[in-house]
Amino acid sequence: MATRTTNGRGKRYDSVLETIGDTPTIRVNNLAPDGVELYVKAEAFNPGASVKDRLAISIIEAAERDGRLKPGQTVVEATSGNTGIGLAMVCAQKGYPLVITMVETFSIERRRLMRMLGAKVVLTPKAEKGFGMYRKAVELAEANGWFLASQFETEANADIHEATTAREIVADFEGSRLDYVVTGYGTGGTVSGIGRVLRRERPETKIILSEPANAAIVSSGTPQERNDAHQPAASHPAFEPHPIQGWTPDFIPHVLQEAIDGGYYDELIPVSGPDGIKCARDLAAKEGIFTGVSGGSTFAVSLEIARKAEPGTVILCMLPDTGERYLSTPLFEGIEEGMNDEEKAISASTPGYQLG
């Protein structure tokens, strides 16, 4: 008889959207320094495999409630991929057409996933960076009367993380230490949402923010130019292209500005793309935890903190997504489709069933 059994969740779901949230907090056993408890919150367990599922459902349902989104109206948004995938899932279930604008350099898997979910994907030139895809979405919305999701400005972004992500963290660590929470920022929704709650209910917990070392736009101290609608008016001068997809567009989102102005984070630690890639690979190979470059980068910062921490320290690292949407990126460089020499040698060690 199997020693491991399951009993089901004791409920049936009316749609895939009801499965968003309640992602697991998982202990890291093989990579964590001795004496330190290091956990990851694995957002890949959302149905669309990223933290952005939370944002997607929040944006659409908030707009439905206040009448900004009409039945059958087309939704349009600029995204590096995960928000687009989340929106495509939500719009598919609810029956809204979706158009995504995305810089041509983002991974091919993301485009194909969104198209598989029924979305149209409009690519923008890499020379125009994230600001270009953003302005294209605004143009399309204004020209066609479409609903602009506005993930970088909408209150629905941080609100959903305050109502779900933060509540899950508080519940998972109830009655125990939680010394650090480490996260990247992207749109800023995660850090602003959890910051509201942890500053109030767990003020002893330090929130660590991270950004790419070569695109350190927040730590530059240079303010973001915005228009009256809180939209970015220009690309941030401190931005440079970086390999951490989903992190740090070439502007400071309005949603993130709340965390900056409110002092929701205690320290901002930069991380390099190669360090993020290495840590994502280590998590997969040594912990069986599959995450993308953004998750690997957050984990790299978490390890840096863990190595300096006193015994008994408890750290939670946010992992935004799965590694499967990075197959065509540097994360998988050197991971071959065919057998390598060691694998060929294993095959040759017995006589049968060998490839010619």
Tally Cβ neighbours within 10 Å of residue 59. Answer: 29
Contact 36, 76 (CB under 8 A): no
Query: DSSP 3-state assignment of 186?
Result: coil
Strand order in the sheet with 267-271: 25-28, 37-42, 314-319, 180-183, 206-212, 267-271
The residue assigned the tokens 């202990």 is 27
In sequence order, the 6+-apart residues with CB closer than 8 A to the CB of 76 are 98, 99, 100, 101, 137, 140, 141, 144, 146, 147, 148, 149
Buried b (16+ CB within 10 A) or exposed e, 151-180: bbbbbbbbbbbbebbbbbbbeebeeeebbb
Respond yes or no: is residue 294 known to be catalytic.
yes
CA distance 87 to 353: 45
Tally Cβ neighbours within 10 Å of residue 126. Answer: 13
CA distance 256 to 266: 14
- Which residues lie across from 226 on neighbouring strands? 232
Q: How far apart are the first and last CA of the chain?
A: 41
Q: Which long-range contacts (CB under 8 A, 24 or more apart) does 24-28 make?
A: 25/168, 25/169, 25/172, 25/173, 25/316, 26/289, 28/283, 28/287, 28/289, 28/317
| Active-site residue, selected from the candidate residues 50, 80, 294, 297 | 294
CA distance 285 to 148: 40
Respond yes or no: is residue 272 known to be catalytic.
no
| Active-site residue, selected from the candidate residues 41, 52, 129, 136 | 52
Contact 211, 270 (CB under 8 A): yes
CA distance 208 to 6: 36
Query: So which residues are the catalytic ones?
Result: 52, 294
